[in-house]
Amino acid sequence: MRYWFPLGIFICWFVLASFGPLFPLMPDHIELSKILSTPGNDAWLGYDDLGRPLWDRLVEGARVSFYVSLLVVTISLILGTLIGATSAYIGGWFDHVVIRIIDIFLAFPGLLLAIALAGLMGPGLDNVVIALSVIGWVGFARLTRAQIMALKHRDHVHAALALGAGRTRIIMRHLLPLVLAPLIVEATFAVASVVISEAGLSFLGLGIQPPDPSWGSMIRDGTRYMLVAPHMVLVPGIALLLVVLSVNLLGDRLRDRMDVRN
Amino acid sequence: MISFLVSRLISAVIVVLGVSCLVFLLIHLVPGDPIEVMLGESSQLADREALRYTLGLDLPVYTQLLQYFSGLLHFDLGTSLYSKRPVVDLLLERIPATVELAMSGLLIAILLAFPLGILAAIRKDTLWDGGAMTFSLLGISIPNFWLGPMLILVFSLWLGWFPVSGREGVASLVLPAVTLGTALAAILSRMIRASLLEVLNEDYIRTARAKGLSERSVILHHAMRNALLPVITLMGLQLGVLLGGAVITEIVFSWPGVGQLTIEAIQRRDYPVVQACVLLISVAYVVVNTLTELVYAGLDPRIRMLGEN
């Protein structure tokens, strides 16, 4: 139970996102006679305010959230780790500048910088990925920097240095592998936060544009019909909650397993 | 203490300067022509140049930066493109609503988190603990733009206890404050539990018990005071999440605060207002964070000694 529930949800999400196009889905197909109809025998999960099937839109939305989070976390992880590791290993004025830049990025609370960026660049999926990566690298950079600072004076690093290993080799082969466990845990939690952030931007109308569905924009559309069709808010919201919850649970389990202190 | 104070203040000033620069540069770093985005692709060349001239975007970047900073020093944040009013006036109208919302959110978070966290710690590994931690996990995982509509659905539409949206009286404050405070309550209660559990193993707790103090006095006076230190730091940091979350919460409940102004300005492509809102929220966060650190240092002598060495 401790592993199977979150893992099961996660696998469902992955399968829907990856193999969704193999199903005969019609997320934009309008069935006028079924506008706002609630879930029932002939309408699994019901229809939205334009008469589009919610299940089909939910699967499409899973694709969006999965690929946005995959892309953003990968970009942030690579960028943040490289910046953090280089900064910690080189030290000196370079490190000071990097710390200041990290502090400045951290001064923008929550989604604010992403909201501003997505707003200024104009809506769209690419811009969501860019905006979320711009705020995403900071966490990884800070974590990697702190870890490498603690590791860089270990004996095996001095030994590698004495054997004539270069800076790149020491960082890539002798330091980063030791930081991997906390980075994996951080990346798991980052997936959860990116899923919420993407949906949040789409909720604000700054993410993916109609008619393409995102769980966030589905919730926003649903809030206008809550009295007659509460399923329009419930369906995408529960999907979102389950995914975020299961990713957070997996992160917790991973942290316990890999014995990472936060 | 003085040198600690000065070093914290200097670093806060550097961050505020950096934030201001970044907010200024946002409009220049974003690919594409901001004027074209504001007016649309089909706009006339003459109109574009006129707006470019009005906003000063035809000047060299360093001149613009100088003008921007000299404006900031005089609390002049420019004029709204949409309403043609000074941006400072627009902000001043909205600040009270956001402060009210953030404070109530914080209050809700504290009211929820302390009983839950303490209960979970003193009844560790019981059903109480499990329940509190399940709440915490749910609270962290529920996005506020879904929790808000759900609360409206249950408490406004079905039960009719609170208004759906707007800012009229205390009743209208309840749902937005709960929406905003839940995530913070979740994180705080976890932290309080962890921190209290650590402290409860200390020798002085055993001493307090051994001299016959009541369990209540041991927890509240001896354990809680020491467990509070990391919690206060976290609270300062999480205030940012609260301020950031206020943007979405204000949209959900049509709460007339700075967050709503930000999103309205983005939709109207009113860039001076967007920049001012982002700047205001971030600077408020830096100020609150610096104050928290100073309070923390005041409470814990170890921190200010560390700053001096």
- Answer whether A108 sits within 8 Å of B282, measured CB to CB: yes
Q: Between A213 and A74, where is the model more confident? A: A74
Whole-structure pTM over 0.95, yes or no? Answer: no
Burial A191-224 (b: 16+ CB within 10 A, else e): bbbbbbbbbbbbbbbbbbeeebbbbbbbbbbbbe
Distance CA(A93)–CA(A95), nearest Å, equals 5
Distance CA(B38)–CA(B48), nearest Å, equals 9
Question: Taking the CA atoms of chain A, what radius of gyration do you get in angstroms?
Answer: 22
- Answer whether B19 sits within 8 Å of A104, measured CB to CB: yes
Alpha-carbon distances, residue B281 vs A178, A200, B73, B82, B91 (angstroms)? 38, 18, 17, 21, 11
- Percent with pLDDT over 70 in chain A: 96
Distance CA(B10)–CA(B34), nearest Å, equals 34
Give the residue among B186, B138, B175 at the shortest CA–CA distance from A241.
Answer: B138
- Report pLDDT for A77: 95
- Give me the mean pLDDT over the B266-272 stretch: 84
Distance CA(A166)–CA(A154), nearest Å, equals 16
Q: Which residues pair with B71 in a beta bridge?
A: none
Three-class SS of residue A150?
helix
- In the chain, the amino acid numbered A77 is L
Residue B79 dihedral angles phi and psi, to the nearest 5°:
-120, 140
Shortest distance, CA A237 to any CA of chain B (angstroms): 6
Among partner residues A110, A117, A248, which is closest to B240 by beta-carbon distance?
Answer: A110
Query: pLDDT-derived band of residue A130, with 50, 70 and 90 as boundaries?
Result: very high
Chain B (149-188) residues lying within 8 Å, Cβ to Cβ, of chain A: 149-150, 152-153, 157
Q: Which residue of B has its CA nearest to A109?
A: B240
- Answer whether A233 sits within 8 Å of B146, measured CB to CB: yes
Res B309 pLDDT > 70: no
Q: For residue A34, with 0-12 CB atoms within 10 Å meaning exposed, 13-18 middle and 19 or more buried, which class applies?
A: middle
A164 lies within 8 A of chain B by CB: no
- Chain A residues whose beta carbon lies within 8 Å of the beta carbon of residue B247: 110-112, 115, 204
Q: What rounded mean pLDDT belongs to chain A?
A: 86
Res A47 pLDDT > 80: no
Distance CA(B205)–CA(A160), nearest Å, equals 47
- Report pLDDT for A261: 59
- Report pLDDT for A137: 94
Question: Taking the CA atoms of chain B, what radius of gyration do you get in angstroms?
Answer: 24
Contact B76, B88 (CB under 8 A): yes
Query: pLDDT-derived band of residue A42, with 50, 70 and 90 as boundaries?
Result: low
- Report pLDDT for A183: 92
Query: pLDDT-derived band of residue A18, with 50, 70 and 90 as boundaries?
Result: confident
Distance CA(B71)–CA(B76), nearest Å, equals 5
pLDDT digits (tens, 9 = 90+) for B126-148: 888 888 888 888 888 899 899 98
Domains of chain A: 47-258 (1.10.3720.10)
Query: pLDDT-derived band of residue B307, with 50, 70 and 90 as boundaries?
Result: low
- Percent with pLDDT over 70 in chain B: 97
- Answer whether A109 sits within 8 Å of B19, measured CB to CB: no
- Percent with pLDDT over 90 in chain A: 32
- Give me the mean pLDDT over the B186-194 stretch: 89
Contact B101, B173 (CB under 8 A): yes
pLDDT digits (tens, 9 = 90+) for B16-42: 899 988 888 887 777 667 777 777 777
- Answer whether B240 sits within 8 Å of A111, measured CB to CB: no
Contact A116, B26 (CB under 8 A): yes
Contact A47, A32 (CB under 8 A): no
Handedness of CA A227, A230, A233, A238 (dihedral sign): positive
DSSP letters spanning B224-238: HHHHHHHHHHHHHHH
- Answer whether B30 sits within 8 Å of A120, measured CB to CB: yes
Chain B (251-270) residues lying within 8 Å, Cβ to Cβ, of chain A: 251-252, 262-263, 266-267
pLDDT digits (tens, 9 = 90+) for A182-210: 999 999 999 999 999 999 999 988 888 88
Res B99 pLDDT > 50: yes
CA angle centred on A199, ends A194 and A205, rounded to 5°: 130
Query: pLDDT-derived band of residue B304, with 50, 70 and 90 as boundaries?
Result: low
**Which of A77-81, A154-158, B125-129, B259-263 is predicted least confidently?**
B125-129
Three-class SS of residue B74?
coil
B230 lies within 8 A of chain A by CB: no
- Give me the mean pLDDT over the A43-66 stretch: 81
Q: Which residue of B has its CA nearest to A244?
A: B141
- In the chain, the amino acid numbered B214 is S
Determine how many CB atoms are found less than 10 A away from the CB of residue B32: 10
Q: Which residue of B has its CA nearest to A249?
A: B137
Query: pLDDT-derived band of residue A135, with 50, 70 and 90 as boundaries?
Result: very high
- Percent with pLDDT over 90 in chain B: 11
Query: pLDDT-derived band of residue A93, with 50, 70 and 90 as boundaries?
Result: very high
